[in-house]
Structure 1
Amino acid sequence: MRDAVAPFSKSSGRSAHVPSPSLRKAYSEHRRHQEDRYRDRAGSTERPGHCNEAPGRASGGRLIMSGLLAAMAQSSLARLEQARARESEKALWSRATDAPPPPPLKLSPEGFDIIAECKLHSPSAGDLSAQTAGGMAGIEERVLAYAQGGAAAVSVLTEPTRFGGDLEHLARAATVLAPLGVPTMRKDFLVDPYQVMEARAAGAGGVLVIVRMLERCHIAELLDCAAMLKMFVLLEAFDAADLQVVHEVLAARKHHDEQVLVGLNCRDLDKLTVELSRLRELAQELPEGRPRVAESGVSSVDDVRTVVGYGYDMALIGTTLMSTSDPRKLLGDMLAAGRERALATRSTNVLLGSSEE
C-alpha cells in the first residue's frame, strides 16, 4: 500500500505565508472578471464564456449539475455578493493573510485518518443537533470531542440554507482546535476565491472544492488561492467523469507546492441516498500520490474496515459522529479499526512482494 503521508511530509511546522506584491498583482489580474463569471453560471448549466478551457463536465460547452448543486450554487453566489457588499476583497485578503497560521494537516504513519464533520442539519438526515448542547457551546463541545478522539481535521459546514451552517461556527471551531493542533476545513459550495479567503480569515486550514460545480479554470483559481494562503484542499468527486477532471487539473499542477486530498462522495445527489459500491468501483480511478478520502456512507466500524480495504487512506464522517452521544469513543474505535486494517493490508502486500522475488 502506498505511503499516505508522503504528499504532506513538508507541511509540518509550516509558517504563515505572506505573498509578495508581484504575486498579489498577478493574482488580482486573473481575478478581475471572476464576479461576472459566477453571476452568469450559478443556477444555470450554461458556460459563461470567460473561461477558455473546456468545462469540468464537457459536453457541448455545458456543465451538468443536479438540482441540489444548482440550487446551492445559486445560494452561494447570493451569499458571495452580500459578503462583498460588506467587505472588499482587498480588506478580506488583508485579514486572511494577517490571521495566525492554522495547525498543519498531519496524517498518521499508521495509514488511516478521519476528517470528523460538524453540521447541525443535512438534507438527507434532517436535524442533527439533538446530541449537542445547543448553540455555539454545543459546537465547541462536539469539535473538542473530535480532537480528543483523534481526528486529523474537523470539517465545519458553513452553508446556512440546507445545512444550518455559518462562518461563525467555523471561527469558533478553529479557536477551540488551534491549541490542540487540529486544523479545520470549511465545507460549503464554494464558487469563488473570495470564499477561500473568508475561510482563512475565520481560522480554517483547508477548504472543500466540489469538482462538478466548477470548470477546470475555476477549480485552478480556487487551488491557487488556497495554495497562496497555505491551506489544504479536499477535491470532491462524485463519479468517474469528475475523477477524470481531477486527473487533468492535477496533471497541470504537478510542480505546484500545494496540499491536495482527493475525495470520492458516494451519495446520489438526486435521491440523497448513498451507494457504498461506488467507493469500491472507483477506488482505482483516484490519483496516485494523493491521500484518498471516502465520503458519505461510512457509518460504522465495519464500514471503515471496508473502505480501507478498498484502498482509502481517510474517511470524512459527519452524520454518524453527529448522531452519537459519545463521538470521542466512536471516533477512536473507527480509527483503531481502520489502522488495524491498513497494517494488515500493508503486511499482506509485503508478503506478496517477497513471494514474487
Structure 2
Amino acid sequence: MLADLVAGAREDAERRRAERPLAVVESAALAQAPAIDALAALAPAERVKIIAEVKRASPSRGALAEIPDPAAHAALYEAGGASAISVLTEERRFHGSLADLEAVRAAVSLPVLRKEFVSDPYQVFEARAAGADLVLLIVAALDQPQLTELHALVTELGMTSLVEAHTADELSRAFDTGARLVGVNARNLSTFELDRDLFGRLADRYPAGTIRVAESAVKTADDVAHYRSAGADVVLVGEALVTSDPVATLHEFLGA
C-alpha cells in the first residue's frame, strides 16, 4: 500500500510539473514569506500539544468527512487550541489537494504541515510555494540518501521536517538526518494495522533536544493521555477531529 501511495503521489506531481515547471514553482517558493518556526510552536511544554489534521478520507477507513471548507475547519482547530495544522494534500486516496493547503495557510496563524507522500524535491518546493511550514517525510518510503537530501532541502527553504518512523531502525535513520521533529506512527503503512504501544516502546530512543510526536490510534482523550504518559510532546490527530465537534474534542484532548 505504501509503495502504491508513493508512486501515485509521484505520478500526480509529474502531472503538475508538466503544467507548472520546477523553475516556476521554485520561484514561487522563494517569494513566499518566511515559514513559521514550527519547532518553537511544538516545543515541549507542561501540557501535550496537538497537530490537528484536515483529512477527508483514508485508505483504511474510506470517506471520513466532506470538509467543503478546509479553511473554516482549520480555523476551528486554531480556536480549539491546536498548535499546528496538518493538511492532507494526497489526491487519490485522501481526497486532498494543494489548494486545501493554500486555503488553510491563508486562514490560520499556526504552522501548517503538508501531509503527503513526498519522494521528489519538486514536492518540497510545491509545499513552500503553497505556504507550508512543515513537510512530512516518511522514512519507510525513502532510502537514506533521498531522506537526507529531502530533509536538507526542507531545512534550506526555512521549513521543518516531520520525519515519520515505524520501527527502531527507521527511528535511527530519522535521527541520522539531524531531524529534530520526529514522529512514531502507530499505523503500519503496509498492513494498516494499529499498535498504540509502539510509541512507548521507542520513546526512550529519542535523543535530547528532539521533539517526540505520536501519530495515529487516537480516538479518545484516554489515547492522548496514554501517549503523553509514554513521553509524547505532541500528538497528531485526524479522524477523531473530523468526525466530531473539533473545538470540544480539542479541549477534551488538551486536558488529558
Greater displacement, 204-213 / 272-281? 272-281
Q: Which residue is 2:184 aligned to?
A: 264
* Structure 2 Cα separation of the partners of residues 232 and 328 of structure 1: 26
How far is 1:80 from its partner? 2.2
1:185-244: CA deviation from partner (whole Å, max 9, x where unpaired): 000100011111101111111110001111111111111211111101100001112112
Match in the other structure for 1:196: 124
Mapped to 2, the partners of 1:110 and 1:81 lie a distance apart of: 44
Residues 120, 165 of structure 1: 8 Å contact kept: yes
Ranges in structure 2 where 5+ consecutive residues have no aligned partner: none
Distance in 1 of aligned mates of 2:51 and 2:119: 22
Correspondence list, 1:210-225, <5 A: 210-225=138-153
Cα contact 2:10–2:119 (8 A) shared by 1: yes
AA matched with 2:104: A
Q: What residue is the counterpart of 1:97 in the other structure?
A: 30
State the identity %. Answer: 37
Tell me the CA shift for residue 111 of structure 1: 4.2
Q: 1:85 aligns to what?
A: 18
Tell me, in whole angstroms, the C-alpha distance in 2 between the residues paired with 1:169 and 1:84. 18
**Aligned partners of 1:157 and 1:163 also within 8 Å:** yes
Letter in 1 for 2:114: R
1:156 paired to 2:87: yes
Give the letter for the 2:216 counterpart: S
SS of the residue aligned with 2:123?
helix
**Does structure 2 retain, via aligned residues, the 8 Å contact 1:104–1:182?**
no
Q: Which whole-Å deviations, capped at 9, do the CAs of 1:150-176 have from their partners, x for residues lacking one?
A: 111100000011111111011101111
More displaced stretch, 216-225 vs 291-300: 216-225
Measured in 2, the distance between the counterparts of 1:275 and 1:147 equals 29
1:241 to 169, 187, 190: 169
Pick one of 104, 109, 114 that aligns with 2:50.
Answer: 114
Give the distance between the partners of 1:231 and 1:79, measured in 2 at CA. Answer: 23
| AA aligned opposite 2:248 | K
Q: Does the aligned pair in 2 maintain the 1:186–1:199 contact within 8 Å? A: yes
CA shift for structure 1 position 87: 2.0
Letter in 1 for 2:115: K
| Partner SS state of residue 85, structure 2 | strand
Do 1:211 and 1:237's aligned partners in 2 also have CA atoms closer than 8 Å? Answer: yes
Name the residue aligned to 1:345: none
- 282-291 vs 310-319, greater mean Cα deviation: 282-291
Partner SS for 2:180: strand
Q: CA deviation at 1:331?
A: 0.7
Q: Is the 8 A contact 2:87 2:115 kept in 1?
A: yes
AA in 1 matched with 2:217 = G
Deviations 1:275-334 (A, max 9, x none): 11212212212333210000000221111111111111000000111110x101111221
Distance 1:128 1:296 in 2: 15
Query: Secondary structure in 2 aligned to 1:75?
Result: helix
Unaligned runs of 5+ in 1: 1-67, 251-258, 338-357
Contact 1:260 1:290 in 2 (8 A): yes
Aligned residue in 2 for 1:169: 100
The aligned amino acid for 1:140 is A
Question: Could you tell me which amino acid in structure 1 is paired with residue 28 of structure 2?
Answer: R
Aligned alpha-carbon RMSD (Å)? 1.5
Equivalent residue, structure 2, for 1:20: none
Provide the C-alpha distance between the structure 2 equivalents of 1:289 and 1:93, rounded to a whole number of angstroms.
31
- State the aligned residue count: 253
Task: Kindly indicate whether the alpha-carbon contact (under 8 Å) linking 2:180 and 2:209 is maintained by their aligned counterparts in 1.
Answer: no
Between 260-269 and 239-248, the greater mean CA deviation after superposition: 239-248
Structure 1 stretches of 4+ with a deviation exceeding 6 A read: none
TM-score (structure 1 length as normaliser) = 0.68
